[in-house]
Structure 1
Amino acid sequence: MTSALSFSNDRPLTHRDEDRLNRAGFADRIAAVLAALPEGSGIVIGIYGPWGDGKTTVLNLLRANLARNDAMVVRDFNPWRLADDDSIFRGFFSILAEAIGVSLSTTLEEATAGAKWWARRLRWVTKPLGQFSKTAETADGLLASFGEIARKGDSVRLEQLRNRIVTLLNGTKTRVVILIDDLDRLDKQETHTLFRLIKACADFPNVCYVLAFDDTVVSKAIGERYGGSDEPAGRSFLEKIIQVPLQLPAAAREDLRSLCFARVDRALVAAGIELTKNQVGEFVASFDRGASIRLTTPRAANRFGNGLMFALPSLVGETNPVDHLLVEALRAFFPEVYEVVRDNHADFSGVEENVPGNGDQTPRGAQLLEPVLKTMPQDHSDAVKALIIDLFPRLSGAYGHSGYGSDWLSSWSDGQRICAPEYCPRYFTYSVPRDDVPDSEVTAILDVARGGDGESLDGRLVSQLHGPKAGRLIEKLRAVEKTVNPIAAETLAVALSKTGNAIPNPHAFFAVAEPPTQAAILISNLLKRINHPASRVAAGRRVLDAAEPLWFGAECLRWMHVTDEPEKDASNTFTSEETAELRFALVHRIKSRAADGAPLFDPDVPQEAALLFEWWRAEGREPVQDHLVRVFTTDPKQITKFFLSQASTLWGSGSATPEVGDLGADQLKNIDLVIDVSLLADLVRSHCAGNFEESEWHSDRDRPPEERLAEQFMYVFNKRKKDKAAPDSNGQVEVAVSEAESGPDVVDPKP
């Protein structure tokens, strides 16, 4: 059961008891320095560190420390939240004035006379805006507005204001501390404006500034404003303002690791996932070999944890939890690598196949990664390779380790590994693909089957047996067929037998790999789970009684007994005698359907004709022949449809659609099993058009197959009468018909 999701909002810490990276000690030292300054002195302290390293946390802890000191007045100024230079200008002096507790206004008495003078004197603060900024006109506009306000009210002359502030500050024991954060988020102009203001006010007595920013980012921004136009020039400028530059102490690696794993634990708990001891070991070892090299800030740990909080719940039970943790680590710490893998995951999952003639045997996945790895330091590149090998063993050979063959695919699939091709897409879509079946659904199907609720089971199966999902469900059930509970096995076998109409039945070159045949094999193997022979036969009878459509029952029967070789008897679900008993049960249904007028063959459903041959196997040719003669005389068009159902199938190179093949000696033998070909020849002469007395073998694909097949049948039949060799279905004269009449086992009937 999942719990409420708890994302880390990346909010800086505010309480000492939350400090896991020992930032409090650093903040305490800064507070002690500020408290120990001589009376009347001020200072500008800079706290340097990259984004996400905890600078704001240090300011929060510093503020909390100073708040306990009555001799300190602490104020925050965050220029990033202000819209432009003018807002920064006003906001800065407003905060400063409020902290000092001095009004910037006096009475009306000197307003009009002194307005222009004040404006002139104030330009020593704002003039740099005009020199180094495109917003100088805005600053001049501010001064013009100031003159207009001065004429209507009263404003303090700048020099008098400075003297008044200095006098007041020298006369108090209270120290003002201005905390300024997020300077590194300002644009270049705003950065320049703020530092000019700080420089102008840095010598106020008893006023201290603590600035937190990424010194590299700010130096580059300021550097473009000064001579060198680069980072060193910016640093030179900072040295004139920052009196005490402090690099934020690097968090101890173990502290960051502990924080990161705490975020992992929180995400696992929220998703309701509990790792085994071995899984914990696998994750920690892989994380330390790979992702940990880029775990350098608390923010990185939080971002990784948030990614897990989002990704894990949607695929609980559908992916390998260790692989899911690691691929999210790849995304969080090596996003440039993750993008390559995500966009080309088929080149990373599975195993590498050696293609003859391919001069470059380097796996394509490794080739795709190479340009990215070249941009990294060697230790980072090695870390990526270690993580990739753990996730995708296919590339292990490319990185100096042993390779993996196709014999590993089954175990990877059983483990829901990302390296299993059928599971890999899930890790990048945060869901089970639409053409796949959730493992949780397979588990639910088996649970329902174990409970014996056939009606509920029917609904669950039909909801999944459509489109590509049908083959995937059958594949997943086949993966567990040898471990299914016997009670569940019978319930599931019977339920599956009812779903033949729902299972896609495409024309296919290799029909045994298609869903109907695989479902029939699954049913046979499920019945094999029933130990008691009589119970197993009874279950097989229920399967054949329930099978729909009827041809699917014949397909199931076909796989219940697959060989008469004694040494291979273990492959059979039923003995020959048991199979014969089951066949009679199926034939009872076949005869009932024939009585209703069904022809028992269909050119569009190749398996339908198997009903004729199962009937023949049970009762011989005579009753089947009577049925066919009745069908053909009632509707002569059924003759050519029968030929179409018996003809071979041709697959053109690169074609996904089969063509109607030919009727040769093989097909003639099969047809003769269910109807005397002499009798059928008479029916052809009576009801079909064509040259049948002097027929020749034609394999002209431009002719309608109905005409071509009827003439081919008559040609082969006439050759048979003359006891000469007849063409096989490929048009080759190879089989002497007289030698091919040894019995029904020579050529298998076409199902």
Structure 2
Amino acid sequence: MVDAHFFNDEPFLNDEGPDLLGREQYAQHAVELLGRVRAQTETGVLALIGPWGSGKSSVLGKVIRLLQSRDGHDTWLIAELNPWLYSDLESLTAALFSEIRAALPKGERWSEVRQKIGGFGQAISPLGKLTALAGLDSEGLIQAFSNRISGDTSASAAKRKAEDALRQADQPVLVVMDDLDRLTPDELLLVFKLVRLVGHLPNVYYLISFDEQTLLDVLQRSDLVGNSEARARDFLEKIIQVRLDLPAFRERDAAAMSTRALNAILDSHGLSMSPGEERRFSEAYFRHLQDRLQTPRAVKRYFGQADATLGSLAGNVDLVDFLIVTFLRTNEPGVYRLLQRHRAELTGTSIDLARHRSTQQPGERAERWRSRLRGAGAAEERIDGVLHLLALLFPTVQKDLGNGGDTKAAAQRRGIGSPDYFDRYMVFGVPDDDLPEAAFDQALSQMAANVPGEEADELLLRLREDTHRITRRIEQRRSTGSQVPAAVLLTAMADAYGQLSAEPEMMGLVSGDMSLQFLARDLLNDLPPERRPEVLAAMASTPDGALLATRTLHRATTPDNDSTEHVQTTEDWALQARDAVAEQITQHLTPATGRPAEELSQMDTDLIWMWRYSAPESLRLWLLQRLDNGWEPLPLLGKLIRPATRPFPLIDDNVLAGLDAMFSLDILYTRLDPVLQSSHSPADSHQASILQALREHRPTTG
């Protein structure tokens, strides 16, 4: 695949590739037409007409190369004149003759022709203009003035001499002038005056190019034509003898050029599209993008922007999402800026999103987006198309239009609709607080091979600081069938469990440790059953790890909608894991047995609560032994039961169920009976509140 040249204003693709638009054939037609015009008239003006960006400059370049490749009598001399550089007729005229002279061959045969043409230009140019163009010093200026006084100063005579010389040379000269539609009205009239009057010379032909409607608009702003399109067209007809209308840029042409440009980008970045990505991009292109890519320049500009910013994003974003976002950034910059302002709503992380959805119908939500797009500068006739492009990117917008939207699929493909990947599309790279996909995969490979590496260290650091995103990305790897080192990750997660610093998500309802727990459950289920006990035991080797191991075992063996206090399964692996984790918890709590219950740490009480999930029978026996050996029940409860936060009660049904699993409520109330019956309230207010709550929940029998 020949690479596309995106970053210049030359022909869209280089000459080594296929002529997708038939421009070579059209240039050949223009050359043949020039020959026919030359056979019928001494001079003439031809106009290459087409919209901006349609490839006029490309065709002009091909015409020039074809003419220059001819030999002998058919050889054309080429003079390219840029009228933008000159603001008055005198300067423009001198420049014309200067360019014509420069185009003539340097041989002796042409010296007289060059002299006569220079004499004509000198005769009609003021000395000041001539001096500026020729770069004369003061001595040269005096000599030029002297020559003009003493010689034949008649412009008509000078013109006749130039005409005779050009006829005798019998060599056609083509003066090429591009982009006349970008001149001001006064500048444009100067060019036409030059072409039709001053520069009307034998064997000198003109090929000019412009966008017709733009040129007519410019002419209508001039005093000569006035605000009349009909007069402007009549004026053009007097100037131009032959029109060369550039062939229309068909949908087939746009599709072929876009396909070749896309393939060039994919090749240069070492990428390819899956069938699913091809379907998604085809839908976006033929339904929405194609209408905006109506000229070769528009195609080149769009894919040039994509090529310029893909760089470090290759492999780190969804390619189709990237191409759609690039289209919006290129053609709808206001809409592109709108995305950042509504990031939370677009990615489904807005606190107000659920409220809006519950109070508004899909039609109302869609109209809200249309209003935003108008405010962002989208033209009215394009609003629905832009809105549907947003729906291809964001599941939330898809839902607002009344259709289903798969948020999980957006995350799996690293789409902009995922909060984990949105920022990559805004900063044209992977932010510093993110981990590139290659580094992420390398970290998992290092962990699987038990090989130390910077990537693995970075992943574990981010697991503590950016828990939600890292766990989701690991889940994405699992869901797509990628190999994930479950056992190593579980051990690493257990080591990091007590050091999580990520802020809660989902309106504060999902903490970092909850995200870790759900991932740990899935990873444990990925392991063969016979490996699970040893991995859970390894996780429980530290107090923090024991907490995660117990929660993981409980979630893996208890249905999500089951509030069972402890493991109910009878599978061998689960029974082995329960005993192994309980043994580790016992070891972690051994130092606490030598201290009073009042001196239990927060970790100690957390381990006691977690123990009930795995092996409540052994926990109950252990606690009763502690009570028999000196721990007081009320101070122990003061540590186990945390102070209530309004409006939640200090002891509810869940707390009672936990106490029953740990002590048996009958035994607990029997042990506490003396203080429950006592009329003296404990000095510790928290313990007093616990006693009062227990009195209120005490069974009437038993």
Same fold by TM-score greater than 0.5: yes
Q: Which moved more, 1:359-368 or 1:539-548?
A: 359-368
Do the aligned partners of residues 644 and 153 (structure 1) sit closer, same or farther apart at CA in structure 2, a change above 3 Å counting? farther
Superposition map of 1:562-573 within 5 A: 562=558
C-alpha separation between the residues in 2 aligned to 1:340 and 1:668?
A: 48
Do the aligned partners of residues 506 and 566 (structure 1) sit closer, same or farther apart at CA in structure 2, a change above 3 Å counting? closer
Tell me if 1:474 matches 2:471. Answer: yes
Q: How many residues align?
A: 653
Shift of residue 207 of structure 1? 0.9
Tell me if 1:367 matches 2:371. Answer: yes
Residue in 2 that maps onto 1:746: none
C-alpha separation between the residues in 2 aligned to 1:58 and 1:508?
A: 58
C-alpha separation between the residues in 2 aligned to 1:175 and 1:181?
A: 19
C-alpha separation between the residues in 2 aligned to 1:611 and 1:93?
A: 96
Superposition map of 1:169-318 within 5 A: 169-230=166-227, 232=229, 234-318=232-316
C-alpha separation between the residues in 1 aligned to 2:77 and 2:202?
A: 15
Shift of residue 55 of structure 1? 1.0
Q: Contact 2:77/2:171 (CA < 8 Å) preserved in 1?
A: no
SS at match of 2:526: coil
Residue in 2 that maps onto 1:323: 321
Shift of residue 308 of structure 1? 2.5
C-alpha separation between the residues in 1 aligned to 2:510 and 2:6?
A: 46
SS at match of 2:208: strand
Q: Percent identity?
A: 20
Shift of residue 258 of structure 1? 1.0
Residue in 2 that maps onto 1:150: 144
The residue type equivalent to 1:518 in the other structure is S
Shift of residue 267 of structure 1? 0.8
Residue in 1 that maps onto 2:534: 538
User: TM-score, normalising length from structure 1?
Assistant: 0.72
Q: Contact 1:465/1:473 (CA < 8 Å) preserved in 2?
A: yes
The residue type equivalent to 1:179 in the other structure is V
C-alpha separation between the residues in 2 aligned to 1:599 and 1:270?
A: 66
C-alpha separation between the residues in 2 aligned to 1:69 and 1:484?
A: 66
Tell me if 1:711 matches 2:671. Answer: no
SS at match of 1:41: coil
Q: Which moved more, 1:208-217 or 1:196-205?
A: 196-205
Shift of residue 122 of structure 1? 5.5
Superposition map of 1:540-555 within 5 A: 540-546=536-542, 548=544, 552=548, 555=551
The residue type equivalent to 1:33 in the other structure is L
Shift of residue 215 of structure 1? 2.7
Superposition map of 1:347-386 within 5 A: 347-348=345-346, 355-358=357-360, 361-363=364-366, 364-369=368-373, 375=379, 377=381, 383-384=385-386
The residue type equivalent to 2:688 in the other structure is M
Cα shift readout 1:65-91 (whole Å, capped 9, x = no counterpart): 222053344223242673754764542
Residue in 2 that maps onto 1:102: 114
Tell me if 1:448 matches 2:446. Answer: yes
Q: Contact 1:348/1:365 (CA < 8 Å) preserved in 2?
A: no
SS at match of 1:226: coil
Shift of residue 447 of structure 1? 3.0
Shift of residue 338 of structure 1? 4.6
Shift of residue 27 of structure 1? 2.0
Shift of residue 250 of structure 1? 1.4
C-alpha separation between the residues in 2 aligned to 1:599 and 1:228?
A: 99
Unaligned runs of 5+ in 1: 108-114, 127-137, 633-638, 652-660, 684-691, 696-706, 718-725, 729-734, 743-751
Residue in 2 that maps onto 1:588: 587
Cα shift readout 1:205-225 (whole Å, capped 9, x = no counterpart): 111010112233333333322
Shift of residue 502 of structure 1? 3.8
Q: Contact 2:2/2:17 (CA < 8 Å) preserved in 1?
A: no
User: TM-score, normalising length from structure 2?
Assistant: 0.76
Residue in 1 that maps onto 2:407: 409
Q: Contact 1:432/1:438 (CA < 8 Å) preserved in 2?
A: yes
Q: Which moved more, 1:663-672 or 1:160-169?
A: 663-672
Cα shift readout 1:499-558 (whole Å, capped 9, x = no counterpart): 12442266899987211232133223322322243x321111111115657655565565
Q: Contact 2:116/2:165 (CA < 8 Å) preserved in 1?
A: no
The residue type equivalent to 1:102 in the other structure is R
Q: Contact 1:319/1:426 (CA < 8 Å) preserved in 2?
A: yes
Do the aligned partners of residues 713 and 671 (structure 1) sit closer, same or farther apart at CA in structure 2, a change above 3 Å counting? farther
SS at match of 2:79: strand
Shift of residue 336 of structure 1? 5.8
The residue type equivalent to 2:696 in the other structure is A
C-alpha separation between the residues in 2 aligned to 1:145 and 1:225?
A: 41
The residue type equivalent to 1:151 in the other structure is F
The residue type equivalent to 1:586 in the other structure is I
SS at match of 2:114: coil
C-alpha separation between the residues in 1 aligned to 2:579 and 2:529?
A: 18
Residue in 2 that maps onto 1:621: 623
Do the aligned partners of residues 103 and 593 (structure 1) sit closer, same or farther apart at CA in structure 2, a change above 3 Å counting? farther
Q: Which moved more, 1:608-617 or 1:590-599?
A: 590-599
Residue in 1 that maps onto 2:10: 11
Q: Higher helix share goes to which structure?
A: 2
